[in-house]
Amino acid sequence: MTQSGIDKKSERTMEAGNLVSSLSSVAKSHVGNKSPGSRAQGIGLEARGIHAWFGDRMVIEDMSLDFWSGTVTALIGPSGCGKSTFIRTLNRMHEFIPGAAMAGQVLLNGQDVYAPGTDVTKIRLKIGMVFQKPNPFPSMTISENVLAGLKLAQIKVDNKDDLLEECLERAGLWTEVKDRLGAYGGSLSGGQQQRLCIARSLAVRPEVLLMDEPCSSLDPGSTLKIEETISHLSATMTIIIVTHNMQQAARVSDYTAFFLSEGGPGRMIEVGPTGEIFSRPKDKRTENYVTGRFG
Amino acid sequence: MTTTSEIRPQKPWQASLSQRSISALVLVGAVALSYLIVAVTPMKGKLAYVALFFVIFTLFDFLFHFATRGLSAAKDAVARAIVVLGISAAVLPIISILGTVFVRGYKGLHIGLFTHDMKLNSVSDPISQGGLLHALIGTAILVLVALIISVPLGILTAVYMTEVRGRFMKPIKFLVQAMSGVPSIVAGLFILSAIVYPITKSYSGFVGSLALSILMIPTIARTSEEVLLLIPNDLREAGTALGGTQWRTVAMVVVPAARSGLVTAMILGVARIAGETAPIVLLTGGGDSVNGNPFKGPMGSLPFYIWKSYSVGTPESITRAWAGIMVLLGIILVLFISARFLSDRRSGQ
């Protein structure tokens, strides 16, 4: 009885070990192709001591993170650890929720986005967002959806057709929709809708793109396409992606941050190059999570 | 396809022929027994038939199910009978109203009804003379002016309650709900004392439309509020995340997404006021000739035409009133059906 218990335990440890090595090999090969150090073009976005509350309940405590331009940072962690709340503080979407409060600074090119007198709509133009569920505007066609940001923010563009094609091309959707740009956004499949939403957020030329579990409602094929899109986009912008899927984090990101809530508010446990987080995590809790022992 | 074991679609859960014939027997038996009881006892009238039939049918059905399928199935049968009774009690009066209106109204229909007004005729003249063109045009103008006033105000109120969600959201919500129950005569008297006596000093279609707006705004505001609440929050967030201000997000994303629902709200608002009589009688002066100017002179309308014809009391005038009711009911039915059609199309998207 004791013997078999030990056997089981060691077996699980071995399995976990295998998973660590497989994840880290995915991560390493990825990072090996384009090492974060060489592509990083300075800090695009800095979070300094972010705290967040809903009512009296603190949900995020003291998170500080640098996001380098030209890199993809994945935020991983179990449900309820504050990943989504954290990225929503970055583009000031957090304040939409009644009872929300925050403390700390978010510096975009050195300027605090929460500084008094900041035009919040300008901030959101520079920090775009893709949501968990594809949410194309139902009353608009595909091309109107892509260009909706320009209309919403009242930006004039000389050549809309070029911009339309460019955004759809960058989102990896152009060849699929170029013959039916006048169709409604809702007529696309879920994965296409999500890429349409990515194209829509690209049209206002953001410097940073926040993605809140962009693939969680999509099938594996669409997920793959979105991941390819992320890889292409990361050459020119800062991407921050929340994901529940550790393989995805390993595949697409240069850096990974692990968040965890141990009963109380969510904290950042560890951040580092993705390869290291998955192969040599410094914190025991990170190791437990990335090896699938909990969460 | 000539295999010996050909499989054909079947519905094993459906009642068999013998079960169905027993059910029919129960029905026929209940009808016969209630007829018999009414015949031999002093109970009289249609209501006695209906009440007896219901009691006997429920009893028979209960016994039949109890004998064949046990107590719980029998209880289920009783519950089903009560539900059917409830539906009949709700639907029969409506069918009866529609039937009565048609039976009495169609006698008053003729081609001239829609091409002539009552300028040269009295309501007691033969049916083939005169018509209700003035009333149709009057109602159309009253409704149109009320729409022009109420739609922007109603939708803006709904936007305040769902999008702006300001400090006064709760009191306004309460007020709108309370206002949708305001008796129409109160709206009419309010306009009479607040506008007609101190300011215009004369009756006109416009003041009638003002009173109708008081009744229409809460209807449009409440329906629009429900429609706007159905728009997923994702869209508002997507709009603001793209750098839109709240106003631009509401105007360009939320309201267009709710477009067909808002049209439904509008139609329901029209249906609410098209048949209102009290404020019309108080305020519009009720002319007998076509008047296209809502700001000057008395204006006829369908409710007024019905009220006036009916109150005269001659056979011709009463037939005219029923014809007017039929036209009005037809218009309202068309409005409700188109509202229903639009909202179905929305949910089907």
The encoded tokens of residue B101 equal 């209106």
Which residues 6+ apart lie within 8 Å of A105 measured at CB?
Answer: A46, A47, A48, A49, A50, A112, A114
Q: What is the pLDDT of residue B3?
A: 54
The pairing of strands A111-112 and A57-68 is unpaired
Q: For residue B311, what is the DSSP state?
A: H
Q: Which A positions 108-147 lie with beta carbon below 8 A of chain B?
A: 121-122, 124-125, 128-129, 131, 133, 135, 137-140
Tell me whether residues A154 and B248 touch, CB distance under 8 A: yes
Q: Do A215 and A243 touch, CB atoms closer than 8 A?
A: yes
Residue type, B78: V
Task: Give the per-residue pLDDT at A6.
Answer: 46
Mean of pLDDT over chain B: 89
How big is chain B by its Cα radius of gyration, in Å?
A: 28
For chain B, give the percent of residues with pLDDT over 90.
Answer: 50
Strand residues in B53-208 grouped as ranges (E): none
Residue A16 has pLDDT above 70, yes or no: no
Cβ density class A22-39: b for 16+ within 10 Å, e for less: ebbebbbebbeeeebeee
Whether A135 sits inside 8 A of B232 (CB atoms) is: yes
Residue A129 has its nearest CB partner, among B232, B241, B253, at B241
Please state which of the ranges A72-76, B27-31, B195-199, B241-245 shows the lowest mean pLDDT.
Answer: B27-31
Check B257 against A201: CB less than 8 A apart.
no
Confidence class for position B269, pLDDT limits 50, 70, 90: very high
Which chain A residues touch B237 with a CB distance below 8 Å? 93, 96, 129, 131, 135
Question: Which of A140, A152, A201 is closest, CB to CB, to B249?
Answer: A152
**A3 — pLDDT class (breaks 50, 70, 90):** very low
A129 and B232 within 8 Å at the Cβ level: the answer is no
Rounded average pLDDT over A63-76: 93
The ipTM value here is 0.81
User: Apex CA B347: angle with CA A134 and CA A200, to 5°?
Assistant: 25
Return d(Cα B315, Cα B318) in angstroms, integer.
Answer: 5
Return the residue in A92, A152, A208 with the most chain B beta carbons within 10 A, the one to mutate for interface testing. Answer: A152
Q: Which residue has the higher pLDDT, B217 or B19?
A: B217
B-chain residues within 8 Å CB-CB of A91? 241
Nearest to A54, CA basis, from A73, A33, A80, A77:
A80
- Best mutation site among B236, B242, B259 for testing chain A: the one with the most A CBs within 10 Å? B242
A136-168 pLDDT, tens digit each: 999 899 999 999 999 999 999 889 999 999 999
For B71-122, the pLDDT digits (tens) are 998 999 899 989 988 998 899 999 999 999 999 998 888 888 888 888 888 8
* Tokens 């000093």 found at: B201
| Nearest CA-CA partner of B150 in B221, B70, B227, B222 | B221
Give A99-119 pLDDT, tens digit per residue.
999 999 999 988 999 999 999
Q: B280 and B304 in contact (C-beta within 8 Å)?
A: yes
DSSP B111: G
Identify the DSSP state of B166.
Answer: -
3-state helix, strand, coil in chain A (%, to 5): 45, 25, 30
Contact A194, A133 (CB under 8 A): no
CA distance B165 to chain A (A): 11
